[in-house]
Amino acid sequence: MSGRWARTMLSAYRFAGAAAYPLVGPYVAWRTSRGKEDRNRRRERYGVAGRPRPEGPVIWIHAASVGETLAVVPLVESILDYGVNIVLTTGTVTSAQVVDERLGDRIIHQYVPLDLKPAVSRFLDHWKPDLAIIAESEIWPMTILELGARHVPQVLVNGRLSDRSFTSWKKRANIAEALFENLAHVVAQSDVDGERFRALGARPVTVSGNLKVDTNPPPVDQRALATLQRQIGGRPTWAAISTHDGEEVVAAEVHATLHKRHQGLLTIVVPRHPDRAEALAAQISGMGLKVARRSKGDRIGPDTDILLGDTIGEMGLYLRLTEIAFVGRSLTSEGGQNPLEPAMLDTAVLAGRNVQNFREAYQRLLDSGGAKLVRDRDMLAGAVNFLLTNEVARHEMMAAGIATVDEMRGALARTLKSLEPYIQPLVVKARLKGANGR
């Protein structure tokens, strides 16, 4: 399959859409969040702007969901210091809430348009971005092609390609090259990610490290923290956070195994998707365990076995209630979740072996002794038991985790350096416009 054939196919895709081209279609992001959209702003998904375009240069930054949004917040704040307008798009209601909490009206938030030509064109016609910055692994063919046709520089930051994505793209190498040649620069998370992007035709590629390392620890409501700490008292605790289907039951089974050895043990379970809480509470209660739900304001009593953290935006609260955290999507699901937040909050990190999406972070934590991988439920129970029993070993893991995060910092500065050739002309343009407008 020649490069010319791939470009012809992508050109046709620009007009016909994903349905006509199944080889490209799987990479189209239909982020409708399965009914969880803000209905009042649904038109934004079709490219209909909810706000007027500001005067002067505009940088479009896209971060798909909560993790990516939190990662780019320091980057957005640094760019705002240059005095350039930012339109920040996200794909979920939860990430929109994060944007509102962290950035407020300093930026313009919009829901990202669907990767269909009418929606993308309508969005670009209105906002006319001078630069597009895309976070992590958001490879949207229609959007990339339309930006390329308008000669808008596109930079992928915190770039990541999972094992599965890289394998899929390699099977369509010519299509990948025809897409990635539209990117002005790729700033990859790791050396492995950088080599993968180069293998698929991206040029130039630099490596920054993970922007998630340069974020602040998740915040906490001090009053809520004090209330829960009073309710828990001196009870031993451990947490299973960002859990996916099946991992909550594993955590409950670990609790049932350990609660006789550790008097008053409280297990904190924080599902990745809180909308599953009703079913989870019923399932765990059916195991003979008493559940307190955070979303309902249930009090943690002496006989409470499980605190179900079924709220959004309170990870900082849950992690400050314990010194041991199992990070989910790693035992019964694949890919893993971010271990850096618990590490930077003085927590010993445990996880299953399926952590490919955060390979470098876990490798650094494993090498330093800040994290340990477990094979199954029994091994998880053994690891939690060991850490609850051995205070010195637990505190050594906690200290190693914090030290590792500190050593990994610097991705923000390296990313800004890579972006400088694209941002500086816009800074000059903004200042000239400001001077002419006075």
Cα maximum dimension of the chain: 74
Distance, CA of 83 to CA of 78 (rounded, Å) = 10
Query: Is 325:241 a contact under the CB 8 Å cutoff?
Result: yes
Q: How many CB atoms neighbour CB 221 within 10 A? A: 12
Spell out the long-range contacts of 104-111 with Cβ–Cβ below 8 A and sequence spacing 24 or more: 106/80, 107/76, 107/80, 108/51, 108/54, 110/44, 110/49, 110/50, 110/51, 111/37, 111/38, 111/41, 111/44, 111/45
77 is catalytic: no
DSSP string, 254-303: HHHHHTTTSTT-EEEEEESSGGGHHHHHHHHHTTT--EEEGGGT----TT
Beta-bridge partner residues of 131? 59
Report the half-sphere exposure of 17 (CA within 13 A, side-chain side): 10
Q: Name the pairing type of β-strands 108-111 and 85-90.
A: parallel
Helix (DSSP H) and strand (DSSP E) numbers for the chain: 17, 14
Q: Which one is catalytic: 37, 44, 68, 314?
A: 68
Contact residues for 237 (Cβ-Cβ < 8 A; gap 6+): 265, 266, 267, 268, 321, 322, 323, 324
Q: 């030509």: which residue's tokens?
A: 117
Distance, CA of 230 to CA of 207 (rounded, Å) = 45
Distance, CA of 187 to CA of 167 (rounded, Å) = 20
Query: Is 217:177 a contact under the CB 8 Å cutoff?
Result: no
Distance, CA of 323 to CA of 428 (rounded, Å) = 48
Contact residues for 16 (Cβ-Cβ < 8 A; gap 6+): none
What amino acid positions are annotated as catalytic residues? Answer: 68
